[in-house]
Amino acid sequence: MAARTAKIHRKTKETDITLSLNLDGVGKYQIDTGIGFLDHMLSHLAKHSKIDLTLKAKGDLDVDAHHTIEDIAICLGECLVKTLGDKKGIARYGHSSVPMEEAMANVSIDLSGRSSCVYNVEYRTDKIGDFDIECLEEMLRSFSNNGKFNLHINVPYGTNSHHIAEAIFKGLGQALAEAVKIIGTDVPSTKGIL
């Protein structure tokens, strides 16, 4: 089987991002986005998905974090598409329920080739430290759109914003690990393609 790795470089007037993925890794990560909380969340994504992630991003953080976060998600999605190739043998679906202290996150994905993001999450704060919480939904939606997969995130309860976000990214990692796993030899679709 061919190596399921990819690297992407995206440079715009707002950001300069280099990102690589190895779907058959062990969860190693080297992440430097200039946004501490985002680095923390992406390290959980890598660790719990067992996907090796290397990411170096420079963005116009003097404006705010929005452009950097969105462009990182674009790169993550595009790299995921490249690493999956024709998707032969993958499980396709993944689901995880992750508790984090008082919070619970349920994350389901379908690597269908079609994007859709359902995000049912409520926070009691607008920020985690100096990180704007609204950027999390934007990032996850952009990841789903560019990765061409269905992503459903439901948080039925939780009071601490950090715990909620952390449960989401750990759950996403575990669901992704399940979905990219090789379990057969053909494309998991009656259409014959994904």
Q: What is the 3-state secondary structure (H, E, C) of 12-29?
A: CCCEEEEEEEECCCCCCE
Over pLDDT 90: what percentage of the chain? Answer: 99
For the chain, what's the residue count?
194
pLDDT at position 87: 97
- For the stretch 135-144, pLDDT in tens is 999 999 999 9
Contact criterion met (CB below 8 Å) for 167 and 99: yes
5-180 folds as Ribosomal Protein S5; domain 2 (3.30.230)
Q: What is the mean pLDDT of residues 25-39?
A: 98
Instruction: Using pLDDT thresholds of 50, 70 and 90, give the confidence band for residue 76.
Output: very high
Q: CA–CA distance from 63 to each of 4, 26, 38, 110 (Å)?
A: 36, 35, 17, 35
pLDDT over 70, % of the chain: 99
Q: What does each C-alpha distance from 124 to 134, 165, 182 come to in angstroms?
A: 12, 12, 39
The predicted-structure confidence for 170-193, as pLDDT tens digits, reads as follows 999 999 999 999 999 999 999 999
| Coil vs helix vs strand at 117 | strand
For residues 6 and 12, give the distance between their C-alpha atoms in angstroms, rounded to a whole number. Answer: 20
Q: How far apart are CA 58 and CA 47, in angstroms?
A: 23
Q: List the chain domain ranges.
A: 5-180
3-state secondary structure of 3: coil
Q: How confident is the model at residue 2, as a pLDDT? A: 82
pTM for the model stands at 0.97
* Candidate from 1-10, 30-39, 117-126, 134-143 with smallest mean pLDDT: 1-10
